[in-house]
Structure 1
Amino acid sequence: MTASQPLTGNALIDCARANAKQGIETTARLCGYGEDLESFRNALTEACDGIGVQIDELKDLIPKTPQIRQTGLEIAPESESNL
């Protein structure tokens, strides 16, 4: 859903984070900035600075999924009688 007014602050950060995978043009439009990418970048940088987060690009807002490493180690008793 496209915002009717340009978002600011936490609302802008939330919208940008939720739509970052779609690219900057789509994200700017959905956050209420239309085709004004420069204003969008400036507002997003200012909003992030306000909460102490530094971003260089929109993709910096995309959460990184943790890598789960499986070791294959199984811990069990040697027998049913030897717990």
Structure 2
Amino acid sequence: MPSPKPLYGTELVDCARANAKQGIETAAYQCGYGDDLNTFAQELRQACEKMNLQVKELSELITDQDMILEIGTGEIIAPDTASEL
């Protein structure tokens, strides 16, 4: 669900990170900036600078942990009970 008003600071960075895989248009929309990509990018850049994050592109917010979580969404194969090993 998109934010009803533009996000700033850590909330903006968190929202942008959560939507980074879907692209800048989706991230801007979800963070409350609609189709104003320039303002979204400017505010995100400022928020990252305040947090000492060296980010030049939205895709840089995707961490290794995000990638591991995505890879780890496969099916778990295990015995039905502890006695069936």
TM-score (norm 1): 0.76
Write the letter of the residue equivalent to 1:53.
L
CA distance in 1, matches of 2:51, 2:24: 21
Match of 1:76 in 2: none
Match of 1:21 in 2: 21
Shift of 1:6: 0.3
Q: How many residues align?
A: 66
Write the letter of the residue equivalent to 1:24.
I
CA distance in 2, matches of 1:20, 1:9: 16
In the TM superposition, structure 1's runs of 4+ consecutive aligned residues that sit over 4 Å from their partners are none
Match of 1:39 in 2: 39
What's the RMSD between the two structures over aligned residues? 1.0
Q: Structure 2: any 5+ residue segments left out of the alignment?
A: 69-85
Match of 1:63 in 2: 63
* Contact 1:20 1:27 survives alignment (8 Å): yes
CA distance in 2, matches of 1:44, 1:3: 15
TM-score (norm 2): 0.74
Q: Structure 1: any 5+ residue segments left out of the alignment?
A: 67-83
Shift of 1:9: 0.2
Shift of 1:3: 0.3
Higher Rg of the two aligned structures: 1
CA distance in 1, matches of 2:13, 2:31: 9
Taking only the aligned residue pairs, the percentage that are identical comes to 52
* Contact 1:8 1:43 survives alignment (8 Å): yes
